[in-house]
Structure 1
Amino acid sequence: MAAASTPGRKAAIAGAVTAGSLAAAGALSTVGAASYFARRVLTPDRQRPDDTQILAVDADSVTLGVSPDTLSPGRYGLWLDGDRGHARVGEVLEVHEGSGRVRRELLGVDFGQLTSGFGRWNQYYFASPPDRALGLRTEYVDVDTELGTMPAWVVPAPAPSDRWAILVHGRGARRQEGLRAVRPLHAAGINVIIPSYRNDLGARSGPDGRYNLGLSEWRDIEDAGLLAVQRGARELVLVGWSMGGAIVLQTLARSWLAEHVSHVVLDAPVIDWGDVIAHHARANGIPAPIGGLSRALMGRRSARRLVGVHDPVDVAKTNWVSRAGELAHRILLIHSVDDEFVPVGPSLALAGARPDLVTMERWDRARHTKEWNVDPERWEAAVSEFVGS
């Protein structure tokens, strides 16, 4: 016979049920938040807003609204009218913090109209393909990949050469990101190929339309390397910016191309995605347990639908500080301690772990992937010396 109910027993049962429901709801909320954050990390940023205010324009300067970008030293580009125009700006001339205005050198308008309104900051500085941006002969080619053809630019060396460089841009970036490296490589007698990869704007999408943090993108870079080898490449230089650095490192670990690679140049590279994801969780006020759970969900096959990926993304495989012993290629590692997007810590740790392979070129003041912009002469000299050694 069941025990008779009492008010105290009913209250205890009700309390237990309520507590259990709250715990379940809390768990679901935590998983939901972690899944959302994971999706944000893996989702391509296809369109970005024109959010740089253009306040005034004259013959040799442009006045912009104050922001961390517009106050940065160096030379940059400015997309105009939703990519229908582009201008290039130089050093800061004067700052009026009180009125939120900064005046910079105007180096030129490449196309379109520069007028008051809004534009979008361009850290690549260049806006067009190499023939138009740099005045260098350029071939427009298609690279055959497992997903179909992907567009690429090839800049032939000044004279016949069996040295080729593959320039790999970062997450959400464009191929123009690599143009800053073309001149020193071209001057060194190296053919250059600047490929696109899956989920780029204007390229093929991957099976899930998500970034895989280098764990699948490397295959598209391998295919670009195959094109170079078919055209006579016997020696390869791999160059990567930000996530492009992570892609390069996966290429070295997984591809037959590695045996052809002589030099590697990494600019503000993602050496450890776990560290980058944790950094962005802190920056966005996301509790550490949720940030940690998001990394775990990316790698769980059972959570693929939650995260929206075709295959699990094992973040541990992107930690090249812990995998430093696997590296076998000389690396020039360029990174600024002022990097706000990919912290410099793992780069310094990798350089410390493998001083036999890694040459660390440390910048003190440059935002993410903007070392060239701040000091192009130093950047190009470091790269020229490295690939010439």
Structure 2
Amino acid sequence: MSDDDAASIVGRLLDTREEFIAVLIDEMRARIPELDHDAAIVRLLKASVSENVVSGMNSLMHDGEPGSVEAPDSALSYARALARNGVPLSALIRAYWVGHSRSTDLIFQFGAQVRADVRTEVVAVLVRRNTTWLDEVTSQVARAYEVEREAWLSGSQGLRRRVVGDLLDRKPITAEQAERVLGYGFDGVHRCVLVQTTGVPRAADAVVEALRLGSRARAHLAVELGDGVTAVWLTVSDPAETTIAAGGLPPALVAIGNAEPGVEGFRRSYRQAERVRLVLTTGEGGAPAGVDGRPGWARFSELTPLALMVHDVDEVRAFVRRQLGELAGSDSRVEVLRETLWAYLCARGSVTATAAALTMHRNSVQYRVERAVELLPGQALPDPAHDLQTALDAARWLGAAVLA
């Protein structure tokens, strides 16, 4: 066997690299539900798969000594992120075996085009090298995961995270046991708020304090979940929406669940806030003004249909384009028309109220609404307009992820 024989197969593998990476990512997310996480974690998955594929293909060109293969930095970062988010190590290792299986299939496929007299030897060598790479890299990412997980769960904050996680996952822990560890009672009405910040020291603390004061909470529980996300539960006397006083708060994504009673309400409000956070993190570009005019703040009560759909962005995209037609375009002119129609529907079809909300003349509002309707399928406003309203919400919050 010559190096040229192996190089010919590796060359074909490299030619299909981008397509192969896309297929792997889709298959991993479909076969391993734990990896189909929020947008930030999925971005890390994509980076990890991309660098692993390049590393793995390069390793096929030579027999490496034990310990000579280094896992890509992005692969280690992804493993640590999964550890901080409570994704089991088994899910990560399964992903590597999916990649190994698919890459082995390609080696056999392209190996069939090598000269018959060396084919078996060439394929055997490449499969062995591929398996060696898998063994080396999975050992390193598993170690990175375990070290990160151990550090993350150690100490009082780690214990609080574990207890909250057990409670949310309905593991065998009673409310009384959780209360003793957390110092937070479960017999009241709870609103969960997820606060996600990036890079600003103590930013979450400032937002948590504003939420506590704005809701006049009788008690509150704040637990760091990892990757800049803090979960806050507020025990509220009045289930009315939390109001936040004007003032200079640091930039953050803030997802607010409904106020719900008891332990089940503690769980339900968290799930609602998590769905809203997925809306906020899936959107591409700046978030629109939400709660009290703050960009990146949103309530489940205002985005319920979209929050229940957003886990499947492909379906949301199809829904938006089906409902909006040409109004799903991404150019600035269409965006202005779309925003005006959204405000018009929020004002229940009142041109006067829309003009006041947008600080525009009534005639300008009327003109924009008419132009927007002309771009809709059927060139008419549906009655009722619930689906249209949801599609416009999706366009506002998710942006380029769902627009044409």
Question: Is TM (by shorter chain) over 0.5?
Answer: no
Larger RCO: 1 or 2 (CA < 8 Å, sep 6+): 1
Structure-1-length-normalised TM-score: 0.25
- Select the structure that is richer in strand: 1
Q: Which has the larger radius of gyration?
A: 2
- Select the structure that is richer in helix: 2
